[in-house]
Amino acid sequence: MCESLRKIDLSSNRIGDSGAKDLAVNLQHCKNLEVLSIGGNKMSVLGMKSITEHVVDVLNLAGKNISADDASVLSDGLKHAPNLKTIHLVDNHIHNSGAVSLAEGLKHCKSLETLYLDSNQIGDSGIKALCESLIHCSNLESLSLQSNVIGNSAATSIASFLNYCCSLKEVDLAYNNIGCVGFTGLCEGLKDCSDLMVSLLVI
C-alpha cells in the first residue's frame, strides 16, 4: 500500500516508543522510502533505533537531545542500516564518548554519502574514532563537523583520514579550536585532494 512512498515527515508529534515500534514494522513495506524525519517527538533512543533499522536513505535526528548513552544505542541500529545515505545528527549532546560509540555503527553504513555532526561538543578523541570508522565508508562525499571542540590533535587525525577517503568533496570544520599547527597538518593532508573543499576558521 505504501510502496510508492519516498518521504515521510513526522516531526514534532507525540510519537513514543510503542508508536515507534509499530511504525518500524510498517516501514518494512515501504520499499522505496528515502527520507524519514522524526525529530521533536517523545520517543527515546530505543524507539529511534527500531526505526533506524528500516530507513532506506535519509535519517534526520537533528535537535533530538541525543546523549552519549543514546548514541551507543543508536549505533546498534546503524549496524543494521547499510543503505543509509544521509544522517543528520546536528545539535545534540553526543560528546566524545558518544562519538566513539557512534563510530562503531557508522563503519557498517557502506552507502553513507553525507554525515552532519555539527554542534555536538565532539573533541579530539571522538574525532579520532570517527575518522578511523569513516575510512570504511567509501562513498562518503560530505562531512560536516562545524561548531564542535576540535583541536590541533584532531586536525591531524582528519588529515590522515583525508588520504584514505578519496570520495570526499566537502568537509566543514568551521567554528572549532583548530590553530596554526592543526591548519598546517590539514594542508599536508590536502595535497592530494584537489577536488576537496574545506571550510575552516583558524584561531
pLDDT tens sequence across 54-72: 665 888 888 888 899 989 9
Q: Is the pLDDT of residue 197 over 70?
A: yes
DSSP 163: T
Rounded to 5 degrees, what are φ and ψ at 143? -130, 120
pLDDT tens sequence across 92-142: 999 999 999 999 999 999 999 999 999 999 999 999 999 999 999 999 999
Domains of the chain: 61-199 (3.80.10.10)
Give the other-Cβ count within 10 Å of 203's Cβ: 11
Note the pLDDT of residue 17: 84
Distances (CA, A) of 20 to 3, 14, 46: 19, 10, 9
Instruction: Give the integer Cα–Cα distance in Å for 47 and 54.
Output: 12
pLDDT tens sequence across 162-193: 888 878 899 999 999 999 898 888 888 777 77
Note the pLDDT of residue 56: 59
Q: How big is the CA angle at 74 (ends 147 and 48), to the nearest 5 degrees?
A: 105
Note the pLDDT of residue 64: 82
Whether the CB-CB separation of 28 and 54 falls below 8 Å is answered with yes
Q: What is the pTM of this model?
A: 0.82
Instruction: Give the integer Cα–Cα distance in Å for 16 and 4.
Output: 26
Q: Is the pLDDT of residue 45 over 90?
A: no
